[in-house]
């Protein structure tokens, strides 16, 4: 069932917390964090990480950006930041399979030059963001995979310091960005 407990009361995750009248810290259901009111930081490193790690320390990073997104709580009472180490990430990053709620921002930040997201397979976007209230993408290279480098649909956010390139490192020649 899609519900969780806060202060002894069972709530549907579609219930806005402001209307539910709850102040809360991190809450867990079946070992999965579903809500937080304090800032949360995840770490990702393609070469030293594992998606079985907690991602909560630079010493125990995830291997994929998607793992960090999937682990982020669905109710964000405070900002969530995902730091991505330099490396190549052959994955399609999707920030839409989860229904993030709350007024916080989810930020995905490249920690230095050489953070490349190449898409999982031909004809997939490197990054796709849908129905997100507040996001930041920063210092990432999004590689053209014969589809869009970046797809933004019904979302509000900031993209800064990102480049859209082909697999040969040239400026994007395919679809580029769909906004």
* Tokens describing residue 123: 């004809």
* Tokens describing residue 175: 């679809």
Which pLDDT band holds residue 61 (cuts at 50, 70, 90)? very high
Which pLDDT band holds residue 32 (cuts at 50, 70, 90)? low
Q: According to the model, what pLDDT value does residue 126 have? A: 82
- Quick check: 51 pLDDT over 80? yes
Q: According to the model, what pLDDT value does residue 47 have? A: 97
- Quick check: 100 pLDDT over 90? no
Pick the residue with more confidence: 14 or 68? 68
Q: According to the model, what pLDDT value does residue 19 have? A: 36
Burial of residue 100, with CB atoms counted within 10 A of its CB: 0-12 exposed, 13-18 middle, 19 or more buried: buried
Which pLDDT band holds residue 175 (cuts at 50, 70, 90)? low
Is the separation of the CB atoms in 29 and 4 below 8 Å?
Answer: yes
Which pLDDT band holds residue 75 (cuts at 50, 70, 90)? confident
Q: According to the model, what pLDDT value does residue 109 have? A: 97
Q: According to the model, what pLDDT value does residue 71 have? A: 87
The model carries a pTM of: 0.77
Least confident of 42-51, 80-89, 132-141, 159-168: 159-168
Q: By percentage, how much of the chain surpasses pLDDT 90?
A: 32
Burial of residue 96, with CB atoms counted within 10 A of its CB: 0-12 exposed, 13-18 middle, 19 or more buried: middle
């Amino acid at each position: 069932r899609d519900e969780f407990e806060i202060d002894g009361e069972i709530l549907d995750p579609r219930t806005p917390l402001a209307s539910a009248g709850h102040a809360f810290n991190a809450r867990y259901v079946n070992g999965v964090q579903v809500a937080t009111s304090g800032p949360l930081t995840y770490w990702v490193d393609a070469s030293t990480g594992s998606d079985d790690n907690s991602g909560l320390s630079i010493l125990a990073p995830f291997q994929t950006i998607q793992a960090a997104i999937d682990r982020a709580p669905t109710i964000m009472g405070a900002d969530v930041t995902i730091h991505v180490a330099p490396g190549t990430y052959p994955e399609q990053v999707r920030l839409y399979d989860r229904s993030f709620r709350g007024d916080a921002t989810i930020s995905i930040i490249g920690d230095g030059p050489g953070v490349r997201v190449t898409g999982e397979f031909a004809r997939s976007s490197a990054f796709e963001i849908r129905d997100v209230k507040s996001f930041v993408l920063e210092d990432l290279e999004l590689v053209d995979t014969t589809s869009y480098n970046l797809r933004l649909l019904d979302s509000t956010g900031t993209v800064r310091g990102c480049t859209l390139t082909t697999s040969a490192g040239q400026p994007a020649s395919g679809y580029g960005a769909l906004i």
